[in-house]
Amino acid sequence: MSAVTRTAPAPRPAGGIGKSVRDSLVIARRNLIRMSRIPEMVLFGLIQPVMFVVLFTYVFGGSIQVGGSLSSQDYREFLMAGIFAQTVTFATAGAGAGIADDMHKGLIDRFRSLPMARGAVLTGRTVADLVQTALTLVVLALVALLIGWRTHENVGKILAGFALLLLLGYAFSWIGALIGLSVRTPEAATSGGLIWLFPLTFISNAFVDSNNLPTFFRHIAEWNPFSTTVQACRELFGNLPPGFKTPDAWPMQHPVLASVLWSILILVVFRTLAVRKYRSAAA
């Protein structure tokens, strides 16, 4: 009489949220390794914000009035929150171009053939971009300190300010993901990712006091999600110049809360649209 050997059933792969998180981290790791092997991607991403810091600080620093002050030091501290915010939002173009490039090379089609969570490809890409953005912010903050930028609040508030910047950048990266899925070439994704960012960042309080803008543009700037994060960071960094009059609009009066709400809204809406676009393309 032969003995019956029983084998334990093979473990089932984790499903639901666990599988999605695991797959997203795998894709994020893949993108981070790729970035580390192409260091010029990070280097070129640093050049533009550093140029903006130098140009606005030393070319316009003594001629732009903020809060009734023409002090170059006041403007330098006023400026940096806007440069930080511009840096994290301009990463949108890179996210879109990266996804468009993967689609153009057929890599996305390979991912679609694998038993992985549908949203993991996009989530992994945006998480990797978030890590790159965080590194860029660290380097940019060091450059800002070298040219005289200073904070005047405690460490907790300073870290909260950078957290708001990263949240905004992550939310905007999903806009880039949607653009990357909607165009045919990386070049089109880069153009589509930048063309709307310039008016968004310049019709704002990033580089000038919004109180000095014409009425129509002032209202746009005060309700601009970009402006809201900039205002929140200035308060958290202690970079509001003496005599600065905070606009009466609700987002400017409650910038931290408004910044969180704007970022979450953008994240939810554009992540939903991007994942839906990815699924419809895969069908």
Mean pLDDT of successive 10-residue stretches along the chain, which has 283 residues: 44 61 85 77 76 78 64 82 92 82 75 74 88 90 89 95 96 92 84 86 90 92 96 94 88 96 96 87 57
Considering the domain boundaries, does residue 6 fall inside one?
no
* pTM, rounded to two decimals: 0.86
CA distances from 91 to 20, 85, 117, 206, 220 (A): 24, 10, 25, 17, 23
Q: What is the pLDDT of residue 283?
A: 53
Specify if 240 maps to a domain: yes
pLDDT of residue 4: 46
Residue 37 half-sphere exposure toward CB, CA atoms < 13 A:
6
- Residue 66: beta bridge partners? 69
User: In the prediction, which pLDDT does 192 show?
Assistant: 82
Please count the structural domains in the chain: 1
Structural domain including 212 reads 18-282
Give the per-residue pLDDT at 68: 61
Instruction: Report how far residue 281's alpha carbon sits from residue 283's, in angstroms, rounded to the nearest whole number.
Output: 6
Query: Tell me, what's the pLDDT at 89?
Result: 92
Q: Where are the alpha helices (DSSP H) in the chain?
A: 16-37, 39-58, 72-104, 107-112, 120-146, 155-182, 186-194, 197-202, 215-222, 225-237, 250-253, 255-282
* Position 33 in a domain: yes
Strand partners of residue 69: 66
Please report whether residue 242 resides in a domain.
yes
Residue 8 forms part of a structural domain: no
Encode burial over 132-155: b for 16+ CB neighbours within 10 A, e otherwise. Answer: bbeebbeebbebbeeeebebeeee
Task: Please indicate, yes or no, if residue 9 is contained in any of the structural domains.
Answer: no
Please indicate, yes or no, if residue 29 is contained in any of the structural domains. Answer: yes
Quick one: pLDDT at residue 2? Answer: 45
What burial class does residue 255 get, using C-beta atoms within 10 Å of its C-beta: 0-12 exposed, 13-18 middle, 19+ buried? buried
Residue 13 is assigned to a structural domain of this protein: no
- Cα→Cα distances 147→7, 26, 38, 221, 281, Å: 68, 39, 29, 27, 48
Say which DSSP state 62 is in.
T
pLDDT (0 to 100) of residue 1: 43
Query: Cα(140)–Cα(149) distance, rounded to whole angstroms?
Result: 11
Dist CA 77 CA 208 (whole Å)? 12
